[in-house]
Amino acid sequence: MKTPDPWSRPSLHDLRAVLESIEKVDGTNLRNNERIELTVPAEVMTQRGNAVAAMTREISRFGIGLLHRGSVSPGEVTVKMASESREYSYRVAIEWCVPCDNGMFMSGGRFLTKSASDDAE
> How would you write 79-113 as a 3-class SS string?
EEEECCCCEEEEEEEEEEEEECHHHEEEEEEEEEE
- pLDDT of 28 reads 44
- pLDDT of 42 reads 92
- pLDDT of 87 reads 87
- Answer yes or no: is 96 within a domain: yes
- pLDDT of 15 reads 64
- Answer yes or no: is 2 within a domain: no
Element at 67 (helix H, strand E): strand 63-69
- pLDDT of 18 reads 64
Buried b (16+ CB within 10 A) or exposed e, 86-99: eeebbbbebeebee
- pLDDT of 101 reads 77
- Answer yes or no: is 61 within a domain: yes
- pLDDT of 27 reads 43
Nearest-angstrom CA–CA distance, 91 and 110: 9
- Answer yes or no: is 6 within a domain: no
- pLDDT of 22 reads 57
For residue 107, the enclosing domain spans 12-23+32-115
The answer to whether residues 66 and 107 touch, using CB atoms and an 8 Å cutoff, is yes
- Answer yes or no: is 4 within a domain: no
Reported as a single tens digit per residue, the pLDDT across 95-112 is 999 998 778 899 999 999
The whole-model pTM stands at 0.69
Looking up residue 66, the CATH number of its domain turns out to be 2.40.10.220
- Answer yes or no: is 104 within a domain: yes
- Answer yes or no: is 45 within a domain: yes
CB atoms within 10 A of CB 80: 19
Domain count, the chain: 1
Q: In the chain, which residues have pLDDT < 50? A: 1, 24-30, 115, 118-121
